């Protein structure tokens, strides 16, 4: 059973800032789970994965409609399919956030899933906010946004997202091709899907953006960049 890091937001923000400082502009990694900090679809090395088993298969049940689209196309694919999907009526008017946990030990990850009484929604929501902040920028985020960048990361990581609700979760056993494609390895994962009302979420994020206090001054270009981010934060979110 994994150990829980209580102050993960501060550690995650520090790691992201270090990454930005050392590597220039960070590349957004889709559907990264801050709990494990790796991208599932990058690990497949561009090859096909195989679902060996999943929760409910032994009872003849299909996997939830959202699992396969997520593994193939990320959260964006799930939200696109949820529009007009009769199985996804409960997701109408909501943002979807999915986290992924993995382990080589099936018993350990099932124990973690069973004892997960209340997910840490910050670990599910923050990565998508982070990707939005750095999307399309023409320089490193610290140069582009100045002191606003670490301030907005800390604000969003520390925010309380009690308005979110866990809608579904699922364990799967998957065979992944290795990087050299010569061998295949088996891994166990748990997917957790949370939803939050779009209007509530947008209102809260906008309020947080409007009340961020920065340590230092911004130049004219940085002020313009922050203004643009605030005005169109939810464009293609």
Strand partners, 98: 193
> Is the Cβ–Cβ distance between 122 and 33 less than 8 Å?
no
Number of domains in the chain: 1
Answer whether residue 180 shows pLDDT above 60. no
Q: Tell me whether residue 2 is in a domain.
A: no
Which helix (H) or strand (E) covers residue 137, if one does?
none
Q: Tell me whether residue 136 is in a domain.
A: yes
Answer whether residue 84 shows pLDDT above 80. no
Answer whether residue 181 shows pLDDT above 50. no
> Is the Cβ–Cβ distance between 137 and 130 less than 8 Å?
no
The bridge status of strand 94-103 relative to strand 50-54 is: unpaired
Q: Tell me whether residue 86 is in a domain.
A: yes
Show the domain range for 161: 8-231
Return the structure tokens found at 118.
Answer: 């209340």
Query: Across 13-22, 47-56, 166-175, which has the greatest mean pLDDT?
Result: 166-175
**Residues 104-132, mean pLDDT to the nearest whole number:** 81
Under 8 Å CB-to-CB from 129, ≥6 apart: which residues?
A: 156, 205
How many CB atoms are closer than 10 A to CB 39? 16
Full 3-state SS string of 143-198: HHHCCHHHHHHHHHHHCCCCCCEEEEEEEEEEEEECCCCCCEEEEEEEEEEEEEEH
Q: Which of 205, 118, 166, 154 is nearest to 8 (CA)?
A: 154
**Residues 78-99, mean pLDDT to the nearest whole number:** 82
Q: Tell me whether residue 3 is in a domain.
A: no
> Is the Cβ–Cβ distance between 190 and 166 less than 8 Å?
no
**Residues 110-129, mean pLDDT to the nearest whole number:** 79
Q: What is the mean pLDDT of the chain?
A: 77
Spatial strand order in the sheet of 94-103: 50-54, 165-177, 184-197, 94-103
Q: Tell me whether residue 73 is in a domain.
A: yes
Write phi, then psi, for 109 (nearest 5 degrees). -75, -30
Answer whether residue 223 shows pLDDT above 50. yes
Q: Tell me whether residue 203 is in a domain.
A: yes
Residue 43: pLDDT band with limits 50, 70, 90: very low
- Would you state the pLDDT for residue 105? 83
Q: Which of 6, 4, 9 is nearest to 130 (CA)?
A: 9
Q: Tell me whether residue 236 is in a domain.
A: no
Strand partners, 100: 191
Share of the chain above pLDDT 70, in %: 74
- Would you state the pLDDT for residue 237? 87
Residue 147: pLDDT band with limits 50, 70, 90: very high
Answer whether residue 94 shows pLDDT above 50. yes
What CA–CA distance (Å, rounded) separates 143 from 25?
A: 9
**Residues 75-104, mean pLDDT to the nearest whole number:** 82
Q: Which of 121, 183, 131 is nearest to 152 (CA)?
A: 131
Answer whether residue 7 shows pLDDT above 60. no
Mapped onto helix, strand or coil, the DSSP state of residue 8 is helix
Residue 144: pLDDT band with limits 50, 70, 90: very high
Answer whether residue 98 shows pLDDT above 60. yes
- Would you state the pLDDT for residue 13? 56
Answer whether residue 99 shows pLDDT above 80. yes
Share of the chain above pLDDT 90, in %: 34
Q: Considering the entire predicted model, what is its pTM?
A: 0.75
């Amino acid at each position: 059973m994994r150990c829980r890091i209580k102050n993960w937001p501060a550690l995650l923000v520090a790691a992201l800032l270090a990454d930005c400082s050392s590597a220039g502009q960070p590349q957004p990694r889709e559907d990264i789970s801050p709990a494990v900090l790796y991208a599932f679809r990058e690990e497949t090395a561009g090859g096909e994965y195989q679902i060996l088993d999943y929760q409910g298969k032994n009872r003849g049940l299909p996997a939830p409609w959202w699992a396969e689209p997520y593994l193939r196309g990320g959260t964006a694919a799930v939200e696109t399919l949820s529009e007009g999907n009769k199985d996804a009526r409960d997701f109408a008017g909501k943002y979807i956030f999915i986290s992924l946990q993995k382990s080589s030990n099936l018993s350990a990850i099932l124990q973690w899933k069973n004892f997960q009484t209340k997910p840490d929604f910050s670990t599910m929501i923050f990565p998508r906010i982070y990707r939005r902040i750095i999307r399309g920028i023409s320089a490193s985020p610290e140069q582009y946004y100045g002191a606003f960048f670490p301030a907005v990361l800390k604000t969003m990581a520390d925010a309380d997202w009690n308005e979110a609700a866990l809608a579904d979760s699922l364990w799967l056993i998957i065979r992944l091709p290795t990087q050299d494609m010569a061998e295949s390895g088996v891994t166990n994962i748990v997917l957790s899907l949370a939803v939050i009302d779009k209007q509530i979420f947008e209102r809260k994020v906008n309020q947080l953006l409007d009340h961020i206090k920065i340590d230092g001054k911004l130049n004219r270009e940085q002020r313009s960049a922050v203004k643009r981010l605030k005005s169109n934060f939810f464009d293609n979110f």
